[in-house]
Structure 1
Amino acid sequence: TELDRARFLLTPGESLNENQTERGQVLRQVVALMVAHRRPSWYLAQGRKDLDETTDAYLRLLATEGIIDTGWRDAALRQRLVFRDMVRHPPLFPTSHGKGSTAARSRLAGWLGTSLYSLDRLDASVDTTLHGELQDAVSDYLGRLADPAFARSQSLIGERLLQPASLGKVSYSFTLLERTPQGNLVRVQTDTTTQPLDINEGSKLELGSTAKLRVLATYLELVAELHARLVPLEPKALRDTAFDRQDTLTRWAVQHLASAKDRSLDAMLLAALERRFSADPGERFFTGGGVHSFNNFNDSDNGRSPTVREAMQASINLPFVRVLREVVRHTMYQVPGSTARLLEDDSDPRREAYLARFADREGQTFLRRFWRKTDRRSTDELRSVLLEGLRPTPERLTAVFRYLEPEAPPEALSAFLKERLGEKAPNAARVQSLFSRYAPDALDLPDRGYVAGVHPLELWLVAYRLQNPQASLTQAIAASQSERQAVYGWLFRTRVKSAQDDRIYTLLEVEAFLDIHQRWARLGYPFGHLVPSLATALGSSGDRPAALAELMGIILNDGVRLPTRLLTGVQFASDTPWFTALGNTPVKGERVMAPEVARALQQALSEVVERGTARRLVGSFRAPGGEDLSPGGKTGTGDNRVVVRGRATLALNRTATFVFHLGPRYFGSLTAYVVGPDAARYRFTSGLPVQILGSMGPTLMPYLGTAPGSGCASAPP
């Protein structure tokens, strides 16, 4: 029923006498709606018979009270309610939201603290930074890559790229931002999945060697900090500077400044990039609580000792594993009188006294960090946060489960292991053995943490919060006094020096990665922890394409972190007395990196394109207006599998990523990925997104302006 027609028929007048049937139908509808608003989910669905009967009762009551005449009442009582067929005639035809608008809607819903359902019922309009035409052009281009003929025309078929028969299961994500005085403006944000999940911002993927960019940034930051501390020293004081023999980074810094003619920070950073690290895969590394080995992608690199710069260009694995090891050891030993130094001298009289102070002070420090990591988490989320950082083995998982669920029967342990390990879960006899071996009284807290590969205090805190969900941080600290002493005190009581050293190193490595994580988080790393292993240099801690793009923006902006903006304004209730408009606050950048470090990273990224793994992009982007859009970036390939006893058993996903900049203003990321067991059939590497970006050049170039903000920003959102 049209509203204007209903309003006309409900208005008293002599001319309506001939419309009694229609008037009766409208009256019945209006009264029914007045009744239905009390319990709409009942009356308008299963309770339609009740609605008819209640409507009849109110029509009679209206006549009895003299509000309507008996003729109108009788006409309404003769009618029956007819409900709309929501399938054939939906009240609101569904609209197809592109990935860009979906991202904007999700961002706004998050800001308002509401659901997308409720958002659709607001009288609101939004201004976005997205360039509509370019967003559609890129989405269309990526969508066409599933067509073998089009993929071949873009030179995407070949070794280490794609094969015609398997194009359909490869998904792509792309984000492009522009650095402006108003912040980093998102110009394109899209992916080819049909799911609401935004791969750019909502995923956690192993993006392979892109992690080397984060490792390189941390390495150069430490060099800059050493320069600030050491360069003011006189030559004699510099030569007398004490450093631990394991702290090779400090030793190199002292030697460099003692002999260099140019002692500036820029010169020291360039010298740091020229240091050589072995690419030999033969060394076994004690990291992550065990002994590990790593391989290079190309066997031809095995006998080399490239510079850090060359290793970055060619994305060679082993040099970066060793760079991260140097960063970890420097982090362990950089504090004067640190535990790491005291542990090397068994006869140091300060050991016991220092241990007690260390356990109390450092134990509280790490407990607070773990509290922030687990804060505002549900019971299931607490377990997930703890388990997601584990390398899953039956022993580790059982050690954790028996501590968190000491009263659970063997059947519960079996179900837990099947959930986490799938087909690789142990049989019933093995489960029973594990159940007894890792009983609550079989191991103390430090040993259990060591077996599980997690910090014992994190394990204790998760168990404590599961048992005391309402407890405060103050209460947790008070309750953990004996555990803090136990975690650190046991280290000095074992008589086996090698076992003692291994366990000490494992704990110190965990603590070093907590410090490294804080550095990464300052540069936009999106997750709450790092895997405490040198494998993090090769991507085992995961990342997000959008977070990598943010790091690229920091580097391009000489170390200043600008806000990333997708929405620029929101207007509520336009043309009403309640009109409200919201806009962005002025940009306030935060310096998170020394400008000299940012410039050194810019140069390293440019060389990846000039003569490294992305060299196929050389000359691909030439602006018609003469602006230099020479690209730079970092490639990464992720091949994530479950491996048991050296044999790959289950492929989880395969990714290939290129985080890039185009000239001084535009930057972003491009990722290709396959999820699930089918990933084992793919052999593409990071050359794929590099080739795609190059092939997209003709699509992108018309929109990349020659003056700041004049390109993508000039088009309507």
Structure 2
Amino acid sequence: MPRKHRARRRLAAVLLFWVSPLLTIGALVGLLAAHEMRTAEFQARVLSRYATDLSYSVQPGPSDAILYPQFGPFDVRLGYARLPALLERAQQQNFEIREQSRFSEALMDYSQRGFYPPYPEKSHAGLTLFDCRGETLYSFSYPKHNYETFASIPPVIVQSLLFIENRELLDTDKPMSNPAVDWPRFVKAALTQVGKRLDIEGQSAGGSTLATQLEKYRHSPDGITYSAADKLKQMMSASVRAYQQGPETLEWRRRVVRDYLNSVPLSAAPGHGEVHGLAAGLFVWFNTDFDQVNRALADNSDAAALERGLALRQVLSLLISQRRPSYYLNAGREELHTLADSHIRLLADAGVIDARLRDAALQTRVRFRDWSREPIRHQVDTSKGINAARGRLSSLFGAPLYELDRFDLEAGSPLNGELQRQASEYLLKLADPEFAREAGLYGKYLLNPNDDTTSLRYSLTLFERSPQGNLVRVQTDSTNQPFDINEGSKLELGSTAKLRVLAHYLTVVAELHDRYSGMTATALREVEVMPNDYITHWAIDYLSRNADQNLPDMLEAALDRRYSASPWERFQTGGGLHTFQNFNRDDNRRRPTIREALRHSINLPFIRLFRDLVRYSTYQTPGNAAALLKNDDNPLREQYLRRFADREGRVFLMRFWRKYDGKSPAKQVETFLAGLRQTPVRLAAVHRYLMPEARRVNFDVFMKEQLPDEQFDEKELAKLYDDYGPGRWNLNDQGYIARVHPLELWLLRYRLEHPVASFADAVAASGEERQEVYRWLFNSRHKSARDNRIRVLLEVEAFLDIHERWQRLGYPFSFLVPSLATALGSSGDRPAALAELMGIILNDGVRLPTVRIQDMTFGSGTPYQTVLAQNPDSAVRVMPAEVAQALRGALSEVVSSGTARRLYGSFDSPDHPLVLGGKTGTGDNRIDRFDRFGHMVSSTAVNRTATFVFYLGPDHFGTLTTFVQGEAADDFSFTSSLPVQVLKGMAPLLKPYLEAGASTQCRAPEPALQQASAN
């Protein structure tokens, strides 16, 4: 044999020696791979063991081992991704984390690698509110309808979905199958991507199974796969999730089908928002009932053939559209119809549906919802208590109600659902004249026989004092509208303001007691007090005459001080002279004690008391402000006059800002000119100031357009243009020439030149102009003119101090009207805020938080579960206990022998006498118009209110308000006796809840420590 051939044989032998094992190994690997692809046995064993360590548990206190999701639409919608910010807001508002989920070490590592924590996710969730007994008050679950179990899904829907998306998913011959991987589909998708890289044209194929799609649209950023890494994360997360329950996955695969049908994204629609799931899609897209579709597809009779066919087409249309739902819902409807026809034929060819159903479906055509004629309307419970609780949550988390309703959140409210229902029904019945008569609502100071009871609205808030805070047990009214009289209003509530004045007064007395008690009589006589500071004078005199000097006695003595009830004095207040009247003329010549004035709600003593409080605040300011009124040469006078100019200018700027806010530049000029008495000179002054750069031709056009009947010649227009040009007149002169306020002229020009400026910008830019407008104050020869303006400013400053004091006691608004009329309610109030003041009084001067939400649980049964509850250590003392006790005593006399005496004894039972107290008030809000001689020309009613703020025994308090809106208020003459009578009529309903021990019937159970895991 030639040498050459022997060498070749030896080489072949060597190659065979080495390659044969490799070929064998390769063959074995191929066989194992094929087996694994067919059975998924290896990954089932490995991943199921691995997934058992991916657990979590709920433990007390904030978690030190939790990783919140960041991006996924599902996680954002349910609130999980927003938890860090939401929890921070809640903790800033008196909530604390009582329990929270903690990840195992393995789950923490898994999540940090970017995979999605495995747990049985909720295919529908939302906000649930419970009352104090654990009964459901409000529940919003989205989607509203869904398939609760796999068995409830009509088989034709399951088979159609699998034929379109994932044909081998429910193969029972593969018990360990991985639902995240469909190998033939995956290989085809991979080859497609390789082809794209090589610029080979061909139809794109997707490799996502239903399980992977769930991961994508739930947890991937924007619900989109942006990269191969994203796809691998989805597949890995879906695989681990599938095997967490064990190696066999058939039940989980069925859950995947159910969850997909319940949650597939299907665009969004007006009036509804995001559309998720087949049920919502059928309702929103086609205005079709979900249950009706399911019944039709389950009915195999000939009579229902067309209905079954339409139902199938509607379902198929949604399943097909999930790749481009917004396009198919709007522009691609015809294309969707054609695609549905094609799929119907393919389903029939594959034996998924029979020929009869195919023919019936091909005869139908879906009808899309007409948004204008068939708008989506959701029924929302308008109960005021529920609205207040939802509103509290919305404010707490900074989330609008639409988003809030979709959070995976359970919240406990202190509302008593049964009492809330009973109270609401009672108030609604009062619109019936017969029921109103039975309740005793007709009579003197109440309703007249001809009064329209349907125009009346009633509002009740009832609180229960507890260590946790003031628990809202009832909050309701009879409006059946979103507007909340208790919390959403600013109403003139009349004499209830006297309660704020009295609380303020007694707090000042306690303040003076704290300052001067302990001083000897000699030392007290040496204290320098301003002549008009009557309260300080009285306090020093009292302390110098009473060796005991204890605060309770001093407060009682303060209540027994007397003030004149005479209405014949004119009061310098609010920048002018005002007079006030008593409700009962018989009181005009009396000189009652403050206690008596409160009991019978006499106005003038409280006006004079409030004037003394204003003076007290005035004389507490540094620098002895009153001396400014004595000495015209005091260097501080000019400082005050400058401050007056600044403040007055701001007031007018705000008035003019509101006049033009929200209008286009052209509309602003139009509005200004509409209020101007137009003459050539005035228009010229206005135009040359507002538009100083305007050319002569523009000026001429403007003048002729505004005064079309005026015959202008060239010379006249030229003179007007030159005479009023920039620099010829100062701002005051321009305003005088145009007969408008100079600051209005300035502000309009500023807005035209700075169209996006804010009011704060305008204030900052107008400092010199505000001083210029009031320059005459500094130059006036008349001291009285300057004195008057200093008095106005001193009063305003005093009211800043008073406002701060009132706010500490719960006054809800950002300013008080600087007028003595505030003592009678002119600054407005809210029933809920008055109730808060009553709660402070009942709780011995300690301000407790108002509790509308007691506890909350986010993501119950998920790795993000967090339980929050009110922090009990949030009470703040805002009033001395002795002041609160004195107020309770004075208020009890209002019920026992004053304006609320009709209530006396109504809540007593033989073995349970109840101490009651309160304050009544009537507000008659109207717009009065006067002529130049001060005579009233007209008076138009805005609304009429009557309020009773009360306490019932040691633990309950609240408000009851009667309200008439609009000009209909002119037809009523009721007083605060009306809400007192309504509360009296509700006594049989309320008494069982006020008795000792009754609160235990309405105590929500403490949140149980729930141990949860992903096992």
User: TM-score, normalised on structure 2?
Assistant: 0.57
Unpaired runs of 5+ residues, structure 1, are: 375-381, 388-396, 418-426
Q: What's the CA shift string for 1:19-78, capped at 9, x where partnerless?
A: 9997997487345445367454x643x54xx23414635987999xx9997888996994
Q: Which amino acid aligns with 1:7?
A: V
Change (3 A) 1:407 1:329: farther
Q: Which amino acid aligns with 1:234?
A: T
2:964 matches 1:674: yes
Q: Is the 8 A contact 1:287 1:534 kept in 2?
A: yes
1:326 to 609, 612, 624: 612
2:453 matches 1:171: no
Secondary structure (helix, strand or coil) at the match of 2:487 reads helix
Q: How far apart, in 2, do the equivalents of 1:562 and 1:362 lie? A: 39
Q: How far apart, in 1, do the equivalents of 2:883 and 2:1004 lie? A: 33
2:384 matches 1:94: no
Q: Which amino acid aligns with 1:128?
A: S
Change (3 A) 1:338 1:550: same
Q: Which amino acid aligns with 1:596?
A: E
2:927 maps to what in 1? 642
Change (3 A) 1:39 1:514: farther
Change (3 A) 1:480 1:89: closer
Change (3 A) 1:363 1:595: farther
Residue pairs, 1:171-190, within 5 angstroms: 171-190=457-476
1:590 maps to what in 2? 876
Change (3 A) 1:321 1:109: same
Secondary structure (helix, strand or coil) at the match of 1:251 reads helix
2:442 maps to what in 1? 157
2:860 maps to what in 1? 574
Change (3 A) 1:278 1:159: same
Change (3 A) 1:660 1:131: same
Q: How far apart, in 1, do the equivalents of 2:877 and 2:753 lie? A: 39
Q: How far apart, in 2, do the equivalents of 1:103 and 1:466 lie? A: 43
Tell me how far 1:110 sits from its aligned partner.
2.5
CA RMSD in angstroms comes to: 4.7
Tell me how far 1:149 sits from its aligned partner.
1.6
Change (3 A) 1:86 1:555: farther
Q: Is the 8 A contact 2:310 2:364 kept in 1?
A: no
Q: Report which stretch shifted further, 72-81 or 274-283.
A: 72-81
Q: How far apart, in 1, do the equivalents of 2:574 and 2:991 lie? A: 46
Q: Which amino acid aligns with 1:650?
A: T
Q: Which amino acid aligns with 2:516?
A: L
1:412 to 671, 679, 693: 671
1:82 maps to what in 2? 366
Q: How far apart, in 2, do the equivalents of 1:107 and 1:675 lie? A: 26
Q: Does 1 or 2 have the higher relative contact order (CA < 8 Å, sep 6+)?
A: 1
Change (3 A) 1:489 1:90: closer
Residue pairs, 1:243-282, within 5 angstroms: 243-282=529-568
Q: Is the 8 A contact 1:659 1:669 kept in 2?
A: yes
Tell me how far 1:678 sits from its aligned partner.
0.9
The size of the alignment, in residue pairs, is 660
2:429 maps to what in 1? 144
Secondary structure (helix, strand or coil) at the match of 1:710 reads helix
Q: Report which stretch shifted further, 672-681 or 156-165.
A: 156-165
Q: Is the 8 A contact 1:641 1:648 kept in 2?
A: no
Tell me how far 1:246 sits from its aligned partner.
2.1
2:420 matches 1:135: yes
Q: How far apart, in 2, do the equivalents of 1:92 and 1:284 lie? A: 57
Secondary structure (helix, strand or coil) at the match of 1:168 reads helix
Secondary structure (helix, strand or coil) at the match of 1:667 reads strand
Q: How far apart, in 2, do the equivalents of 1:490 and 1:268 lie? A: 49
Q: Which amino acid aligns with 2:589?
A: G
Q: Is the 8 A contact 2:732 2:773 kept in 1?
A: no
Tell me how far 1:610 sits from its aligned partner.
1.5
Tell me how far 1:409 sits from its aligned partner.
7.2
2:524 matches 1:238: yes
Residue pairs, 1:117-516, within 5 angstroms: 117-165=402-450, 166-347=452-633, 351-352=634-635, 354=636, 386-387=654-655, 411-413=670-672, 443=732, 482=768, 493-516=779-802
Q: How far apart, in 2, do the equivalents of 1:257 and 1:573 lie? A: 61
1:114 maps to what in 2? 399
Q: How far apart, in 1, do the equivalents of 2:500 and 2:494 lie? A: 12
Q: How far apart, in 2, do the equivalents of 1:701 and 1:681 lie? A: 34
1:654 maps to what in 2? 944
Q: Report which stretch shifted further, 668-677 or 244-253.
A: 244-253
2:905 matches 1:619: yes
2:158 maps to what in 1? 7
Q: How far apart, in 1, do the equivalents of 2:577 and 2:445 lie? A: 31
Q: How far apart, in 1, do the equivalents of 2:622 and 2:337 lie? A: 83
1:379 maps to what in 2? none
Q: How far apart, in 2, do the equivalents of 1:671 and 1:68 lie? A: 68
Change (3 A) 1:80 1:122: farther
Q: How far apart, in 2, do the equivalents of 1:54 and 1:614 lie? A: 71
Q: Is the 8 A contact 1:174 1:668 kept in 2?
A: yes
Tell me how far 1:648 sits from its aligned partner.
4.4
Q: Is the 8 A contact 1:558 1:599 kept in 2?
A: yes
Q: Which amino acid aligns with 1:82?
A: V
Unpaired runs of 5+ residues, structure 2, are: 1-146, 172-296, 691-729, 931-935, 1008-1015
Q: Is the 8 A contact 2:472 2:852 kept in 1?
A: yes
Q: How far apart, in 1, do the equivalents of 2:641 and 2:858 lie? A: 55
Q: How far apart, in 2, do the equivalents of 1:224 and 1:488 lie? A: 41
2:863 matches 1:604: no
Identity %: 48
Change (3 A) 1:230 1:198: same
Q: How far apart, in 2, do the equivalents of 1:284 and 1:706 lie? A: 51
Tell me how far 1:363 sits from its aligned partner.
10
Q: How far apart, in 1, do the equivalents of 2:969 and 2:829 lie? A: 19
User: TM-score, normalised on structure 1?
Assistant: 0.79
Q: How far apart, in 1, do the equivalents of 2:508 and 2:522 lie? A: 23
Q: How far apart, in 1, do the equivalents of 2:937 and 2:460 lie? A: 34
Secondary structure (helix, strand or coil) at the match of 1:685 reads coil
Q: Which amino acid aligns with 1:162?
A: L
Secondary structure (helix, strand or coil) at the match of 1:126 reads strand
Tell me how far 1:482 sits from its aligned partner.
4.8
Q: Is the 8 A contact 1:637 1:685 kept in 2?
A: yes
Structure showing greater Rg: 2
Q: What's the CA shift string for 1:679-707, capped at 9, x where partnerless?
A: 01101000001111111111100111304
Q: How far apart, in 2, do the equivalents of 1:307 and 1:406 lie? A: 58
Tell me how far 1:651 sits from its aligned partner.
0.8
Q: What's the CA shift string for 1:361-396, capped at 9, x where partnerless?
A: 9999x89xx9xxx9xxxxxxx98xx45xxxxxxxxx
Tell me how far 1:301 sits from its aligned partner.
0.6
Change (3 A) 1:142 1:598: same
Secondary structure (helix, strand or coil) at the match of 2:854 reads strand
Change (3 A) 1:708 1:362: farther
Q: How far apart, in 2, do the equivalents of 1:89 and 1:702 lie? A: 47
Secondary structure (helix, strand or coil) at the match of 1:653 reads strand
Q: How far apart, in 2, do the equivalents of 1:466 and 1:616 lie? A: 63
Q: Is the 8 A contact 1:25 1:79 kept in 2?
A: no
Q: Is the 8 A contact 1:278 1:319 kept in 2?
A: yes
1:534 maps to what in 2? 820
Q: Report which stretch shifted further, 174-183 or 703-712.
A: 703-712
Q: Is the 8 A contact 2:310 2:366 kept in 1?
A: no
Q: Report which stretch shifted further, 143-152 or 312-321.
A: 143-152
Q: How far apart, in 2, do the equivalents of 1:409 and 1:696 lie? A: 53
